[in-house]
Amino acid sequence: MKIYKEADYPYLMAQIKGQYVAGLIPLSPTEFYFPLGDDRAVFTLDAAGKSARVNMRYSGEDRVAERVAP
């Protein structure tokens, strides 16, 4: 899973390997909606306020990904 921001697009993007790319619409500073599956992405922040992990809930399943260095 890859979460990224494109310079010319106002939303975060979520790319699920082998499945799709979807825009994430902010609901709060840590929760996002993606309309492709009527689902949610919830970020957990570390002590410095940076994203440490994301829980992508879609198709009725939770998929948790830890942040890795770019």
Q: What is the mean pLDDT of residues 22-38?
A: 88
Question: Model's pTM, two decimal places?
Answer: 0.79
Report the distance separating Cα 49 and Cα 23, nearest Å.
Answer: 22
- Encode pLDDT of 10-25 as tens digits: 888 888 778 778 889 9
- Encode pLDDT of 36-55 as tens digits: 777 899 999 999 999 999 99
Tokens of 67: 């942040």
pLDDT score at 47:
95
Exposed, middle or buried by CB within 10 Å (0-12, 13-18, 19+), for 57?
middle
